[in-house]
């Protein structure tokens, strides 16, 4: 499985021993750097529990150990902020 831009991955120790504590990772792109067979470099954002980006990272992982949580085709739910009441006043002329 090769991740695509926008995919949200669960990166665990199965992907690389450096991930003793698993992370959520949103893919920006797969880097075209030379690696060992079955390993890839990914550029993207580490996500917090609410899905917001907390830091940009490049990670070196085994593609077989990655688990896709959300495909890029599924739109990310946007944070809903309460709207402020709109106060309209007449325009002054002159």
What is the pLDDT, as a whole number, of residue 57? Answer: 95
Q: Which helix (H) or strand (E) holds 47?
A: strand 39-47
* Local structure of 42: helix, strand or coil: strand
Tokens 């695509």, residue located: 4
CB 10 within 8 A of CB 22: yes
What is the pLDDT, as a whole number, of residue 46? Answer: 96
* pLDDT, tens only, 13-55: 999 999 999 999 999 999 998 899 999 999 999 999 988 999 9
* pLDDT, tens only, 53-85: 999 999 999 999 999 998 765 555 565 666 677
- Helix and strand tally (H, E) in the chain? 0, 5
pTM exceeds cut of 0.95: no
| Nearest residue to 18 (alpha-carbon basis) of 34, 39, 33 | 39
């Amino acid at each position: 499985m090769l991740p695509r831009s926008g995919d949200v991955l669960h990166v665990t120790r199965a992907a690389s021993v450096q991930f003793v504590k698993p992370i959520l990772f949103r893919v920006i792109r797969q880097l075209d750097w030379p690696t060992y067979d079955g390993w890839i470099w990914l550029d993207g954002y580490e996500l917090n529990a609410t899905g917001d980006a907390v830091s940009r990272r490049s990670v070196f992982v085994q593609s077989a150990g990655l688990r896709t949580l959300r495909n890029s085709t599924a739109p990310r739910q946007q944070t809903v902020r309460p709207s402020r009441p709109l106060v309209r006043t007449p325009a002054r002329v002159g």
